[in-house]
Amino acid sequence: MSSWQLINLIALALLMLFACRVWFRSQHPFPLPPGPKGWPIIGNIFDVPKEKFHVAYMEMSRKYGSDLLYLNMAGTSLLILNSEEAANDLLVERSTLYSNRPDFPMLSLMGWDFNFAFLPYGNRWRKSRALFMQQFSASSLETWQKPILQESIYLFLKKLLDTPKEFEDHIRFLSGGTIISSLYGISPLNNPRHGYFLELAKKANLSASEAGIPGTYLVDNIPLLKHIPEWFPGATFKRKAAYERGLVQRMYSEPVDFVKRNMASGTAKSCAISRALQEMQDDGGWSEEKENFLKMALGAAYSAGSDTISVTLTVIVLALVRNYEILQKGKTAVDAVVGPDRLPNFGDEGKIPYVDALIMEALRWRPVAPLAMPHHTVSADIYKGYYIPSHTIVFANCWAFLQNPITYGEDVTQFRPERFLNPDGTLNSKVPYPDAAFGFGRRVCPGKAFAQCSLWLAVASLLVCFDFSRALDKDGVEIDPSTDFMDGILSFPPPFECSITPRSKTAEGLIRENYERQIS
């Protein structure tokens, strides 16, 4: 078959598919939710925003006067929920219909179908999530995750003290490196593999963030294209996917192989992987299939944690650099509880409301995943008089919820932790926690408790130890760091420069003292 014959065959198949879907959707008495009209066959492909998806969909929703926004992507239904009420009604209250995941053709080609976050709702997803939760549940946090976090913070502070200009790398080390230590027993002290695995996750995650937004690649709208060979004209996406697949497979396989080699030589440290592998061997239940399942389920934690926590912590640093008054309030709050002679620990957790408010405001002001992860309907539904077809891709536009002036005040574009506080400095229970940042229903982030603990200890420690200010250009003028974030399924702050200095000789001494105690 020639190239042109194949193209004609694909075009004919798409036309027939579109005609069938249009006919079936016309056989119901309820209208589709509001949205742009679209074109024959291709639907609303040209209406998909090229950037700032979350902002564009929020504005489009306002234009059509509805918190439900519907687009037809060449026959694939896309529904964006622009109110927390709609998200809770559908993704939580009707979770049996909305807990599936859509197909991610490009992500699957890239190898990301290993990650249970992208799996459809079913037995494999449940087993993977249960294994993940076993390592990151509230009880696991108390028994062995918090001690690892406490140790990691000392090294993080020492790195920041020695090379403050590399703060973004140090933040990534803290978030992803802690998970690497707990899952694989790979110490960040004088072990080059630790940094290597962190860098591997960074490279793999960059491409996943881009490919996770439907419409970025044509194959997401026309899944039949995934079957064309790499040499086919225009199949650049297939060659890119093949390269990325190698990175992804290395990311979740190589750390486990490292642990296995150390177990064989008797040098492995106790960690989640070593304990699970040893248990398989002891009870005679080991199999290649079970080992691969273990690699993939816990590899999801490694890949996710290395980015999501680090983004939020970077947002907080950005906010402290830009807002001197907030920095001073934060320092005053932690000093009142921690005092001048020690660093924060988890015994202080819950005693410094301003730190909690800082974290909540960062999650609200710049959520890591503004459109959250897409859900997928398993069958048709009726909501508020609108027909929602089966196999609809559903996005909860967290940005729209968390920027709602009715909920959070008219100044929602500003970073202001005080919105979560009462006049006496206690947390205001009437202002809702930005839970939307962690997803909805049965698909809510299983690492939420770990993320909250990590962020709390990191923010409290930064406020005790360091001052933050704008960097100066060559003429001595302050550089105002941008708040125009980079787009993708995850939203990243653009790289920025700043000045990070120890608050005092006492703070510097505490950092060095705790670091030396850890490595001795």
Q: What is the pLDDT of residues 52-84, one digit of tens each?
A: 889 999 999 999 999 999 999 888 899 999 999
Residue pLDDT, tens place only, 366-406: 999 999 889 999 999 999 999 999 999 999 999 999 999 99
- CB burial of 445-467 (b: ≥16 within 10 Å; e: otherwise) equals bbbebbbbbbbbbbbbbbbbbbb
What integer is the mean pLDDT of 214-241? Answer: 82
Q: In whole angstroms, what is the distance from residue 308 CA to residue 212 CA?
A: 15
Higher pLDDT, 497 or 179: 497
The pLDDT of residue 216 is above 90: no
DSSP string for 54-95? HHHHHHHHHHTT-SEEEEEETTEEEEEE-SHHHHIIIIITTH
Residues 505 and 340: beta-carbon distance below 8 Å: no
Helices marked H in 1-52: 3-25
Higher pLDDT, 422 or 50: 422
Distance of CA 257 to the CA centre of its chain: 26
The pLDDT of residue 275 is above 60: yes
Higher pLDDT, 227 or 213: 227
Residues 52 and 193: beta-carbon distance below 8 Å: no
- What are the residues facing 8 on neighbouring strands? none
Number of domains in the chain: 1
Per-residue confidence (pLDDT) for residue 168, from 0 to 100: 92
The answer to whether 445 is a known ligand-binding residue is yes
Q: What share of the chain is helix, strand, coil (3-state, %, to 5)?
A: 60, 10, 30
Per-residue confidence (pLDDT) for residue 40, from 0 to 100: 85
Per-residue confidence (pLDDT) for residue 377, from 0 to 100: 96
The pLDDT of residue 32 is above 90: yes
Q: Which of 349, 335, 382 is nearest to 455 (CA)?
A: 349
Q: Which of 474, 460, 190, 423 is nearest to 330 (CA)?
A: 460
Per-residue confidence (pLDDT) for residue 236, from 0 to 100: 87
Enter the tokens of residue 98.
């909305």
Give the range of the structural domain holding residue 94, as residue numbers without chain letter: 31-519
The pLDDT of residue 125 is above 70: yes
> Within 10 Å of residue 468's Cβ, how many Cβ atoms?
24
- Give the confidence band of 285 by pLDDT, cuts at 50, 70, 90: confident
Residues 113 and 241: beta-carbon distance below 8 Å: no
Quick check: is 256 in a domain? yes
Question: Which amino acid, 197?
Answer: F
Quick check: is 375 in a domain? yes
Question: Which amino acid, 489?
Answer: I
Query: Phi-psi bin for 379: left (phi > 0), alpha (psi -120 to 50), beta?
Result: beta
Which of the residue ranges 94-103, 301-310, 485-494 has the most confident prediction, judged by mean pLDDT?
94-103
CATH assignment of the domain containing 464: 1.10.630.10
Higher pLDDT, 190 or 284: 284
Positive or negative, the CA dihedral 27, 31, 33, 34 is positive
Question: Which amino acid, 420?
Answer: F
Say which DSSP state 487 is in: P
Only one residue has tokens 């574009």, namely 413
Q: Which of 99, 14, 25, 18 is nearest to 380 (CA)?
A: 25
Q: In whole angstroms, what is the distance from residue 208 CA to residue 220 CA?
A: 13
The lowest-confidence range among 1-5, 131-135, 181-185 is: 1-5
Per-residue confidence (pLDDT) for residue 33, from 0 to 100: 96
- In this prediction the pTM is 0.88
Per-residue confidence (pLDDT) for residue 144, from 0 to 100: 76
Residue pLDDT, tens place only, 158-205: 999 999 999 998 998 888 878 888 888 887 776 778 788 888 888 887
Residue pLDDT, tens place only, 407-466: 999 999 999 999 999 999 999 999 999 999 999 999 998 888 889 999 999 999 999 999
